[in-house]
Amino acid sequence: MPNGIAAARNIADLQLLARKALPGPVWNYLEGGADDEVTKRRNTAIFDDVLLTPEILTDVSNIDTRISMLNIDFGFPVIMSPTGMSQLFHPSGEMAVARAAADHAVPYALSTMATTTIEEVAQIGGRRFFQLYCFKDRRLTSELLDRAKASGYDGIILTADTPVSGNRERDLVSGMSVPMKFPLKSLIDFSLHPKWSLPMLFGKRVALANMTGGHWGTGSAAGVIAMVNGQMDRSITWKDLDWLRATWNGSLILKGVSAPIDAVEAAKIGCDGLMISNHGGRQLDGAVTPLEQLPHIRDAVGDAVVLILDGGVRRGTHILKALALGADACAIGRPYIFGLAAGGPAGVHRALQILRTEFERGMALLGVRCVADIRSRHVRWSGQQAATDFAVRLERNAWPNRPETSDNGPWTAVGRSAFSPGKAV
């Protein structure tokens, strides 16, 4: 166990610190996945099946991790995924995450289920997305859209993989369900974590900050959560995405895409970006991992749409692998919350610093100077995937002659194809 934030060498160390800081029920809400958590585990484990092929003697004295996409300049290719209830993990909650994101020049996606308002987060001034659910009562959705627009949000992320909640059995056992019902073991756990429990008891009430007043009423937090759950609309379809595209003229990103056929449909409708995601393994257990689907989706949509790999990223080399397989950027959820729980603002900062440093070192060791130079030839699958991948590449002649390396400098990542046939970029 590292001795504090500064001593955390990697995201796994922050995870250990977060585990220690949080009472069991809160930890399980954060870490847990659906059913047997097979998908949650595979989201990270699958990165081990992708092997990097470093190239040498390429002069890596200057490494440029910046990219530019969706009209945003990024310090490095990472987005903070939307996560609900951040003040549960530390009183500084969403504000700490948004501030660290702004400091590292990466966009923050504020969740509909946030414990801080759309307007407060906007005051920080970093680049930001708002994550939206399509509620049964469309007026509720429209109001959130209007507020995001008035507060200058760069884009909307529509989460579409939650027609119903996933079966998170850890939460059922610990009582973090709706309505909350804590067994004695959980209550003892809370009392053994006074540093967490006392601010919860005597500090500001943790509530879904964007859903109070107006149509939402002013009931208890549990009552509001129950109402939000009741508003989750199982009947949403592509027509609703059409409606959203017509209503919102900033960037539109669809979150929860796994199937290439859905990616193609979303591109047709005019989405600017897709988050390839299974909600961190919290929804359909047994679902395919984002990394496995990424090359297929890039193949299906070509260069037209930004692809963001979301789920399982714990190392800078994971970002390298995803980019080599066709992603434009990666999104992270739990890694920054581990930091938040472990040490508030300093912990989120440390999580981003760790990933950025690892990514930069990985680029140097891979032999690339800028993000544009990370190409499909830098990776290959091991294990069962290898044979299929070999066949696909052979068919596409995806092993070009050594390309000229691009000049250092921010590079517009939009539309980088994983399998560009023999073409230097």
Catalytic residue ranges: 279
- Given 87, 92, 115, 131, the residue binding ligand FMN (CB under 6 A): 131
- Given 155, 280, 326, 339, the residue binding ligand FMN (CB under 6 A): 280
- Given 15, 83, 258, 317, the residue binding ligand FMN (CB under 6 A): 83
Q: Return the ∠ at Cα 189 (arms to 88 and 221), rounded to 5°.
A: 35
- Given 87, 111, 258, 376, the residue binding ligand FMN (CB under 6 A): 111
Question: Would you list the DSSP string of 273-302?
Answer: EEEEE-GGGTSSTTPPPHHHHHHHHHHHHT
Site stretch for ligand FMN (CB under 6 A), options 64-72, 80-88, 211-219, 240-248: 80-88
Q: State which amino acid sits at residue 205.
A: R
- Given 14, 34, 95, 113, the residue binding ligand FMN (CB under 6 A): 113
Does 251 participate in binding ligand FMN (rule CB under 6 A)? no
Question: Would you list the DSSP string of 173-201?
Answer: HHT-SSS----HHHHHHHHT-HHHHHHHH
Does 174 participate in binding ligand FMN (rule CB under 6 A)? no
Site stretch for ligand FMN (CB under 6 A), options 82-90, 134-142, 226-234, 295-303: 82-90
Does 289 participate in binding ligand FMN (rule CB under 6 A)? no
Residues 421, 61: Cα–Cα separation, whole Å: 29
Does 159 participate in binding ligand FMN (rule CB under 6 A)? yes
Does 250 participate in binding ligand FMN (rule CB under 6 A)? no
- Alpha carbon 400 to its chain centroid, in Å, reads 32
- CB nearer to ligand FMN: give 313 or 342: 313
- CB nearer to ligand FMN: give 81 or 376: 81
Does 43 participate in binding ligand FMN (rule CB under 6 A)? yes
Q: How far is the CB of 57 from ligand FMN (least distance, A)?
A: 35
Q: Are the beta carbons of 234 and 163 closer than 8 angstroms?
A: yes
Closest to 108 in 3D by CA, of 51, 150, 69, 153? 153
**Maximum distance among all alpha carbons in the chain?**
65
Q: Which alpha helices (H) appear in 276-380, and where do they start and end?
A: 290-301, 316-324, 334-366
Residues 114, 367: Cα–Cα separation, whole Å: 40
Is the backbone of residue 415 left (phi > 0), alpha (psi -120 to 50) or beta?
A: left
- CB nearer to ligand FMN: give 86 or 420: 86
Does 334 participate in binding ligand FMN (rule CB under 6 A)? yes
- Given 110, 252, 305, 332, the residue binding ligand FMN (CB under 6 A): 332
Site stretch for ligand FMN (CB under 6 A), options 75-83, 197-205, 225-233, 407-415: 75-83
Q: Are the beta carbons of 165 and 226 closer than 8 angstroms?
A: no
Q: How far is the CB of 308 from ligand FMN (least distance, A)?
A: 10
The size of the interface with ligand FMN (CB under 6 A), counted in residues, is 21
Residues 154, 71: Cα–Cα separation, whole Å: 9
Q: Which residue is nearest to ligand FMN (CB)?
A: 333
The pair of three-digit structure tokens given for residue 284, joined into one six-digit string: 């359909």
Does 168 participate in binding ligand FMN (rule CB under 6 A)? no
- CB nearer to ligand FMN: give 111 or 420: 111
DSSP 343: H
Q: How far is the CB of 59 from ligand FMN (least distance, A)?
A: 34
- CB nearer to ligand FMN: give 88 or 413: 88
Q: Are the beta carbons of 315 and 358 closer than 8 angstroms?
A: yes
Does 273 participate in binding ligand FMN (rule CB under 6 A)? no
Site stretch for ligand FMN (CB under 6 A), options 61-69, 77-85, 96-104, 173-181: 77-85
Closest to 175 in 3D by CA, of 188, 186, 164, 190? 186
Contacts of 402 (CB under 8 A, 6+ apart): none
Binding site residues, ligand FMN, CB under 6 A: 30, 43, 81-84, 111, 113, 131, 159, 255, 277, 279-280, 310-313, 332-334
